[in-house]
Amino acid sequence: MGYLAKYRRKYGKSFMAAIFFLTIEALGDLLQPTIMAKIIDVGVSGRDMGYVLRMGGLMLLITLIGAVGASARNIISSRVSQKFGTELRSDLFRKIQSLSFRSIDKFERASLVTRLTNDVTQVQNFVNGLMRIFVKAPLLCIGSLIMAARLEPELSLILAVVVPLVGLLIFMNMRVGFPRFLKVQKALDQVNRVMREYLSGVRVVKAFNRFNYETEKFQEANAEYQTRSVAVMRAMSIFNPAIMLTVNLGILAVIWLGGIRVDQGQMQVGSIIAFINYMTQILFSLMTISMVFNMFVRARASTARIGDVFAEENPMTWKEEAAFASAEAKGRIDFENVTFSYEGEGGEPVLKGITFSCLPGETVGLIGSTGSGKSSLVNLIPRFYDADSGTVRVNGRDLREMDPHQLRESMAVVPQKTVLFTGSIAANLKWGKEDATREQLERAAQAAEAAEFIEKLPEGYETKLGQKGVNLSGGQKQRLSIARALLREPDILILDDCTSAVDVETEARIKASLKAYSRGLTCLLIAQRITSVMDADKIVVLDNGELVGIGTHDELIKECRVYQEIYRSQIGKELHADVNA
């Protein structure tokens, strides 16, 4: 995982410090049984109270040093893992922000959230665990083996049988457990996915009374999760008792053989106790190792998922030089034989050979049936996506040479789907211009026909939106989002069907004030209603990704079949409505 190298470099030293203290702690643990054996064998059996006290003191001292080591290691490992997790999370967040729309489409938003939260936490926990127990376990295991062998070389023969046997059992445990464990992870992902889908569509679910269907879907996923978990537990269930049995048989053998040797005067009782202590320490560390391996499997899956995001390259390039728009080209947009598909070159094109221009100061209407590619077309202008072939020019410059960041400074987009953020109305508007004054806010709100309803709200511009705040109607939100765009004082304004929830008169007023608000503004206006675009300087008609007509209303109504159809269907209906009224 290449991206982890940075953190390895940064936290390597602290990590080693934690390992150092961990070693002290482990050494303390290793010495204890031997000292105890001495106390029993020399002190107690020799009735030497002074020796017992001296060795007891030593034992206390070692315990103290071990405790200090443990505390230091605890402090370091918590700090390092927390810092590492926080940094990884914010790096990932920054990376996600830099992703192109194509990449975001690819990952699916919800999964990016899981990567940012759950996956980072898994890796963080693993790093923490690594510093706490992982290194300690092999240390204790090998150390205990050596100490035990030094203490009683003959009894170590039992270890030579028991330890490989336990090792084998643990290995088999992991072999059986891993694949099943991965399946549990997958099932859990599925439970999360169903839940996410339900929550994001909860209104629709309730509206269509699909509650039972959703519940069933959830129960299915949940049951699958249960089955998988039970399968793991069942497969694993024989191993722990088997390990315990093996070790206990080993202890039995130690006591039995040790007893014989004590009888023969070749060995002392304390050594047997110490030996058994070492044996349980070995067992304990082997079990810890297997536990950490479990954590490792999870962390590895998470690391890979995070790595996928970091590996995602933004293929957009640009030239560094400052973009100077010549005065006469400022606000100009040109499409030249543009073809575009969401899958990238070779995919099903949603725009085919589009050629047209918006001159500075023009208002260009964009109309066409739903799915005809209107939004896709305007998405190319702020470089949300790059065209597969053909050229898009803004201010007379090829977009492929322009820094998207700089490009977007000079334009404002009102997206089809209104997005407002938690916070006050004023804060939301200021997205358009951070340092906007109150007058500027009011002027933009006025132009977007939003001022009136904002002033009626109890707290006016300071009214909080979103969670715990007020909820606005669809049309009110649309007008706020127009005001936000206007505040930017852009050269190019793109309105993607953003008056769909506003009544016809209000829409007409908004359109009238747009021109007055900002002179020389190039405006691209997408609409479903033909009345919204009828008075534009130029109307572009899209049909199924192709440009099928361009011109003024009068020209199109004569020549363009698609335009005629839209006109007939909409205006016809409205006349009909008038008659009924």
Return the number of the residue (164 or 344) whose C-beta is nearest ligand DUT. 344
Window of 120-128, 230-238, 365-373, 559-567 that interacts with ligand DUT by CB under 6 A: 365-373
- 95 C-beta neighbours (distance < 10 Å), count: 18
Return the number of the residue (416 or 552) whose C-beta is nearest Mg ion. 416
Q: Minimum Å distance from CB 371 to ligand DUT?
A: 4
Q: What is d(CA 120, CA 116) in angstroms, rounded to the nearest whole number?
A: 6
Give the C-alpha distances (Å, rounded to integers) separating 570 from 544, 557, 576: 19, 13, 10
**Under 8 Å CB-to-CB from 208, ≥6 apart: which residues?**
none
With beta carbons less than 8 A apart as the criterion, state whether 551 and 543 touch: no
Place of tokens 């320490």: 281
**Under 8 Å CB-to-CB from 447, ≥6 apart: which residues?**
483, 486, 510, 513, 514, 516, 517
| Cα angle value 450/455/460 (rounded, 5°) | 110
Return the number of the residue (96 or 276) whose C-beta is nearest ligand DUT. 96
Return the number of the residue (122 or 376) whose C-beta is nearest ligand DUT. 376
356 interacts with, out of ligand DUT, Mg ion, none, CB within 5 to 8 A per kind: none
DSSP state of 546: E
**Under 8 Å CB-to-CB from 337, ≥6 apart: which residues?**
353, 354, 355, 389, 390, 391
DSSP state of 159: H
Q: Minimum Å distance from CB 527 to ligand DUT?
A: 9
Residues contacting ligand DUT: total by CB under 6 A: 12
3-state secondary structure at position 138: helix
Of the residues 32, 81, 302, 372, which one makes contact with ligand DUT according to CB under 6 A: 372
What is the pattern of x (binds ligand DUT, CB under 6 A) and - over residues 343-362? Answer: -------x------------
Q: Minimum Å distance from CB 97 to ligand DUT?
A: 19
Q: Minimum Å distance from CB 525 to Mg ion?
A: 13
Of the residues 63, 416, 506, 513, which one makes contact with ligand DUT according to CB under 6 A: 416
Buried residues in 39-49 as b, exposed as e (16+ CB within 10 A): bbbebbeeeee
Window of 23-31, 326-334, 352-360, 368-376 that interacts with ligand DUT by CB under 6 A: 368-376
With beta carbons less than 8 A apart as the criterion, state whether 507 and 479 touch: no
Window of 115-123, 342-350, 373-381, 464-472 that interacts with Mg ion by CB under 5 A: 373-381
Q: How would you class 152 by CB atoms within 10 Å of its CB: exposed for 0-12, middle for 13-18, buried for 19 or more?
A: buried
Q: Minimum Å distance from CB 295 to Mg ion?
A: 46
- CA quadruple 491, 497, 499, 501: dihedral positive or negative? negative
3-state secondary structure at position 467: coil
Of the residues 302, 375, 395, 410, which one makes contact with Mg ion according to CB under 5 A: 375
Using CB under 6 A as the binding rule, whether residue 368 contacts ligand DUT is answered as yes
**Under 8 Å CB-to-CB from 100, ≥6 apart: which residues?**
314, 315, 316, 385
Return the number of the residue (23 or 531) whose C-beta is nearest ligand DUT. 531
Place of tokens 């208002």: 363
Residues contacting Mg ion: total by CB under 5 A: 2
Return the number of the residue (38 or 374) whose C-beta is nearest ligand DUT. 374
With beta carbons less than 8 A apart as the criterion, state whether 552 and 537 touch: yes
Q: Minimum Å distance from CB 528 to ligand DUT?
A: 6
371 interacts with, out of Mg ion, ligand DUT, none, CB within 5 to 8 A per kind: ligand DUT
Q: By CB under 6 A, what part of segment 256-275 binds ligand DUT?
A: none
Of the residues 342, 356, 453, 517, which one makes contact with ligand DUT according to CB under 6 A: 342
Helix (H) or strand (E) holding 579, with range, is helix 561-580
Please name the residue ranges forming H helices in 264-361: 269-311
Q: By CB under 6 A, what part of segment 51-90 binds ligand DUT?
A: none
Return the number of the residue (21 or 340) whose C-beta is nearest ligand DUT. 340
Using CB under 6 A as the binding rule, whether residue 539 contacts ligand DUT is answered as no
Using CB under 6 A as the binding rule, whether residue 530 contacts ligand DUT is answered as no
Return the number of the residue (3 or 356) whose C-beta is nearest ligand DUT. 356
Give the C-alpha distances (Å, rounded to integers) separating 190 from 116, 183, 213, 223, 303: 17, 11, 16, 11, 19
Place of tokens 């053909």: 390
Give the C-alpha distances (Å, rounded to integers) separating 22 from 9, 137, 280, 386: 20, 10, 19, 54
With beta carbons less than 8 A apart as the criterion, state whether 545 and 372 touch: yes
Return the number of the residue (463 or 500) whose C-beta is nearest Mg ion. 500
Q: What is d(CA 367, CA 389) in angstroms, rounded to the nearest whole number?
A: 23
376 interacts with, out of ligand DUT, Mg ion, none, CB within 5 to 8 A per kind: ligand DUT
Q: Minimum Å distance from CB 370 to ligand DUT?
A: 3
Q: Minimum Å distance from CB 350 to Mg ion?
A: 11
Structure tokens at 13: 């030293």
The residue type found at 338 is V
The residue type found at 27 is L
Of the residues 288, 375, 395, 424, which one makes contact with ligand DUT according to CB under 6 A: 375
Q: Minimum Å distance from CB 10 to ligand DUT?
A: 38
Return the number of the residue (416 or 513) whose C-beta is nearest ligand DUT. 416
Of the residues 339, 357, 416, 506, which one makes contact with Mg ion according to CB under 5 A: 416
Window of 138-146, 148-156, 306-314, 374-382 that interacts with ligand DUT by CB under 6 A: 374-382
Return the number of the residue (129 or 545) whose C-beta is nearest ligand DUT. 545
Strands (E), 459-534: 464-465, 492-496, 522-526
**End-to-end Cα spacing for the chain:** 69
Of the residues 317, 370, 437, 580, which one makes contact with ligand DUT according to CB under 6 A: 370
Return the number of the residue (192 or 416) whose C-beta is nearest Mg ion. 416
**Contact positions vs ligand DUT (CB under 6 A):** 342, 350, 368, 370-376, 416, 497
- Positions touching Mg ion (CB under 5 A) are 375, 416
